[in-house]
Amino acid sequence: MSDWKIGDDRRRRTTDQLRHLRRANEGQVHWDTEAPADFTFLFHPDHLLVDAEDVDVFEEAVARLDKGVLSEPPRRDDVRLLDGALVRYVLPTRQGGETVPEVLDLLEEAGLPDGAASPDHWVHVSPGGGGGAACPAVEPEETGLTDPWPPIEPQEKGDEVSVVVVDTGWHPPAATDPRTPWLKGVDGDDENNGAHLRPYAGHGTFIAGVVRCAAPRTRIFVEGFAVDGVGGGGILESEMLLQLEEAMTHDPQVINLSAGCRTWRDRPSKAFAAFYRDLLKGSDCVMVAAAGNDSWAAPFWPAAFDWCVGVGSLDRDERVSSFSNFGVSADVYVVGRNHVNAFPDGTFTCHETPNKGDVRVFGTGMARWSGTSFAAPLVAGLIAREISEHGVSAADARTAVLKRAVRDSDPTIGPVKELRRPYV
């Protein structure tokens, strides 16, 4: 996995992340470029996703494909997605070594309609330099602060609102720790932290803390997709769909997803589109997602969907953070730099350039972290608070919160909509 163009910390960091993700998933992570630091999307080397309604045209195109490409027809996987509404195929060995995107190109030449099939992309919570990542923008840092920042916004009245944080899992001791009382009552899938903290440990707990500080009267469940360190902080979009199905069983009014992905040809993610079509669209629930940390305007899914609230990051000076994505993936911007919130105690060894090998000791129940990962739950909390205090639907709460955004212009990216609270 050499990178002949590597030459700065950002590129080295991206390469470090991909090496970690690939090791954690036994080689099931491929990308679209020779140099890993240049990647735009990550995908499973053998999976294709097809909507059930397109299965016939897909299989017809496969039958027309040159017999020298596939040694046998693709196999329908036994994983059941949205009760069969989305089908995952497993490609056999390609005699010419064709990648999934190359097979899709050949299938479209054979008559497969545009968009009928897609790679199974990797959704990830790490930062990126290429584009398959989301957040955070840095690894967690120690802090001597004992109070969260942005601070807790007291709330005396309002109904309880259900929020599901779909993330790396939950650190149960935080719910009873006297140092983090704002997390009392939060529950979720235990990420089973030990004395040595794995990469991405505490990510979901930190995000739950951001939501609670903005909206104290929330019932939060952290739906974990990378508990026990499985996956290296990443998950296939088809597997993410299963996690989102689980999330909906908690009857959420707001879902926060601080993760995402770029896709082949920048087409909308099939898994997230199917989730909206079959589950989210008919519910009283809003999804909020991080815009990503790649400093560019290319679509980042699910934040780029018009039904999802995509959130970019601001610094305290009200300018867009240098790491934040912008454009179609960011409907609104809010502070995402240098948040302070709950984090597990333990020893953390950095695995990314330029701090690779640096040992950080966390013993205060808190950490400092930056990224659109942490801007997103602030907006999720504001929407939940609007529902709680005014008894409105999730959709109306989303509209009300976004209407409070102030139009401004950032010299590097142009017009933006910013949510400015007292802490910005």
pLDDT at 228 over 80: no
* Locus of tokens 């991909």: 18
Residue 130 lies in a domain: no
Please tell me whether residues 182 and 96 are part of one structural domain. no
Please tell me whether residues 244 and 107 are part of one structural domain. no
Please tell me whether residues 96 and 188 are part of one structural domain. no
> Do 333 and 417 form a contact (C-beta atoms < 8 A)?
yes
Residue 142 lies in a domain: no
Average pLDDT over residues 309-316: 96
Residue 82 lies in a domain: yes
Q: Give the distance, in angstroms, between the CA of residue 31 and the centroid of all CA atoms in the same chain.
A: 18
3-state secondary structure of 382: helix
What pLDDT is stored for residue 229 in this prediction?
Answer: 64
Please tell me whether residues 109 and 168 are part of one structural domain. no
What pLDDT is stored for residue 28 in this prediction?
Answer: 92
3-state secondary structure of 388: helix
Q: Which of 105, 124, 143 is the last residue in one of the domains?
A: 124
CATH of residue 392's domain is: 3.40.50.200
Residue 140 lies in a domain: no
CATH of residue 98's domain is: 3.30.70
Average pLDDT over residues 412-416: 88
Calpha distance 148→118 (Å, rounded): 42
Peptide bond between residue 92 and the one before it cis (omega within 30 degrees of 0): no
Please tell me whether residues 120 and 218 are part of one structural domain. no
3-state secondary structure of 131: coil
What pLDDT is stored for residue 204 in this prediction?
Answer: 96
Please tell me whether residues 72 and 193 are part of one structural domain. no
Residue 386 lies in a domain: yes
pTM: 0.94
Beta strands in 201-301 (DSSP E): 218-224, 234-236, 254-257, 286-290
Please tell me whether residues 165 and 270 are part of one structural domain. yes
Name the average pLDDT for the chain: 91
Residue 280 lies in a domain: yes
What pLDDT is stored for residue 272 in this prediction?
Answer: 98
What element of type H or E holds 349? Answer: strand 346-349
Torsion of CA 16, 20, 22, 26, to 10 degrees: 150
pLDDT at 90 over 80: yes
What total of structural domains would you count in the chain?
2
pLDDT at 16 over 50: yes
pLDDT at 383 over 50: yes
pLDDT at 21 over 60: yes
What pLDDT is stored for residue 129 in this prediction?
Answer: 40
Q: Integer distance in angstroms from the first to the last C-alpha of the chain?
A: 41
Please tell me whether residues 117 and 169 are part of one structural domain. no
Residue 296 lies in a domain: yes
The residue range of the domain holding 49 is 43-124
Q: Which of 95, 124, 153 is the last residue in one of the domains?
A: 124
Q: Which of 124, 151, 175 is the last residue in one of the domains?
A: 124
**Residue 165 or residue 138, greater confidence:** 165
CB atoms within 10 A of CB 376: 34
Please tell me whether residues 262 and 338 are part of one structural domain. yes
Please tell me whether residues 178 and 115 are part of one structural domain. no
pLDDT confidence bin for 89, thresholds 50/70/90:
very high
Please tell me whether residues 181 and 101 are part of one structural domain. no
Residue 222 lies in a domain: yes
Please tell me whether residues 75 and 211 are part of one structural domain. no
